[in-house]
């Protein structure tokens, strides 16, 4: 049974997710046009809790002030400088009710940052010569996908990974395949049901622009790409992730399903009730399309993952991607449609500096994973508050607080990079 049929909070929280596109991690910076412009005007600011007018100068005081201003229960942040973990900071609570503080092994919902993990088994197929990103999916692994409006236009794996396949998110369907617990259907059931005619979830509204002609952020497309990896390797996607990423890189607190992780380390998910000045816990959920945004990970593991990317696919002698693959993924893929889009990776600007990585927003969680490959540096911030979802309802204090913390951490990174 879908989560919307079993959870009382869903009428409000899931509706917010629809507006944000954040069921499995939306394009939370809201790229509205082919030029990559950002929509930062999400409506009126919600009333923040009563606090001092200006944040303190020191880092801890600044972060805690912003958390109070934006209704963020817990935050973890980290920096990589010269390829080494240079800073880890934790603030607030993973569990407000039980006063359990955020720790470096607390597991957060990372939403669309998950896509950086999803890409690996797919790109490993490319490395092994088992997949050509530019052939139709039907030729790749006998998984044909045809846009009902443009049946002669190829839907390729590259287009799935760059949000240019013509496939779009049908939010009602994604809601119906969101569950309070691990999904009872497997990834292949969802992918076939969503993308192929006659499937249980198939409908014309699962497709939008002509393939290759427009950029439209799509979570469902990443679930389909992940299933192509399953077909290519003949192995479950969760097992592929464990074998190719989690185990070789020693990521101890990272997993797709609840059964794969230590649930005692999970951060409770929260929204913020401004009139009552209180945090409201939300149900932990998972998705049938989980490779698009269902990962949970700790700041400690995320920093190790950033180190591996910055080292062009290798960490502690363990290689998870070839150097050439990482370099390819860093390049712009569809500059005429979106200047921000690499191969899975996305470009973003913080304090005037250009980073590459991914961001994520979902019910009860917001995350940003940003790298400077040329400087061998990275910046990661995660929270168990629904900052971006609330912003889509016009309550922008959480988003503004999260982005202020991100900007302050970016300043810290730049200071540490300066000789």
Q: What is the pTM of this model?
A: 0.90
| Parts of the chain with a pLDDT under 50 | 1-48
pLDDT attached to residue 291: 98
pLDDT tens per residue across span 59-85? 999 999 999 999 999 999 999 999 999
Question: Would you say 387 and 366 are in contact if contact means Cβ atoms under 8 Å apart?
Answer: yes
- Determine whether 316 is exposed, middle or buried from the number of CB atoms within 10 Å of its CB (0-12, 13-18, 19+): exposed
Write down all domains in the chain, each with its CATH number in brackets: 3-128+235-417 (3.40.710.10)
pLDDT tens per residue across span 114-154? 999 999 999 999 999 999 999 999 999 989 999 999 999 99
Q: What percent of the chain has pLDDT over 90?
A: 83
Interior/surface letters 158-178, b for 16+ CB within 10 angstroms, e for the rest: bbbbbbbbbbbbbbebbbbbb
pLDDT attached to residue 53: 83
pLDDT attached to residue 274: 84
Handedness of CA 41, 38, 411, 118 (dihedral sign): positive
Question: Would you say 177 and 289 are in contact if contact means Cβ atoms under 8 Å apart?
Answer: yes
pLDDT tens per residue across span 326-366? 999 999 999 999 999 999 999 999 999 999 999 999 888 99
pLDDT attached to residue 51: 60
């Amino acid at each position: 049974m879908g989560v919307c049929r079993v959870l009382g909070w869903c009428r409000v929280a899931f509706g917010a997710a629809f507006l944000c596109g954040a069921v499995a991690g939306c394009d939370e910076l809201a790229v509205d046009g082919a030029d990559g412009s950002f929509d930062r005007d999400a409506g009126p600011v919600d009333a923040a809790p009563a606090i001092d007018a200006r944040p303190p100068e020191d880092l801890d005081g600044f972060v805690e002030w912003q958390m109070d201003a934006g209704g963020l229960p817990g935050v973890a942040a980290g920096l990589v400088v010269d390829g080494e973990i240079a800073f880890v900071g934790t603030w607030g609570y993973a569990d407000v009710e039980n006063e359990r503080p955020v720790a470096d092994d607390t597991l957060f919902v990372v939403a669309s940052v998950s896509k950086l993990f999803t890409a690996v088994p797919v790109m490993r197929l490319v490395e092994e010569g088992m997949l050509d990103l530019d052939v139709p999916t039907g030729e790749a692994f006998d998984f044909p996908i045809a846009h009902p409006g443009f049946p002669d236009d190829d839907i390729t794996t590259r287009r799935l990974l760059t949000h240019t396949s013509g496939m779009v998110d049908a939010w009602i369907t994604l809601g119906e395949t969101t569950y309070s617990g691990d999904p009872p259907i497997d990834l292949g059931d969802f992918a076939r049901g969503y993308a192929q005619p006659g499937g249980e979830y198939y409908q014309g509204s699962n497709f939008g622009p002509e393939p290759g002609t427009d950029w439209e952020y799509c979570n469902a497309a990443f679930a389909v790409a992940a299933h192509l990896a399953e077909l290519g390797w003949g192995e479950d996607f969760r097992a592929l992730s464990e074998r190719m990423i989690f185990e070789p890189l020693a990521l101890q607190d990272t997993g797709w399903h609840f059964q794969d992780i230590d649930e005692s380390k999970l951060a409770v998910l929260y929204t913020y009730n401004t009139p009552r000045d209180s945090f409201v816990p939300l149900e932990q959920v998972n998705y049938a399309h989980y490779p698009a945004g269902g990962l949970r990970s700790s700041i400690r593991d995320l920093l190790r993952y950033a180190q591996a990317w910055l080292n062009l696919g290798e960490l502690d002698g363990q290689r998870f991607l070839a150097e050439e693959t990482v370099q390819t993924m860093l390049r712009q893929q569809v500059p005429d449609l979106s200047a921000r889009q690499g191969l899975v990776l996305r470009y973003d600007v913080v304090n005037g500096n250009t980073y590459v990585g991914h961001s994520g927003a979902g019910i009860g969680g917001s995350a940003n994973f940003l790298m400077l490959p040329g400087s061998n540096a990275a910046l990661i911030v995660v929270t168990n508050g629904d900052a971006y979802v609330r912003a889509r309802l016009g309550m922008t204090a959480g988003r503004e607080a999260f982005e202020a913390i991100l900007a302050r951490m970016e300043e810290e990174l730049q200071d540490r990079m300066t000789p």
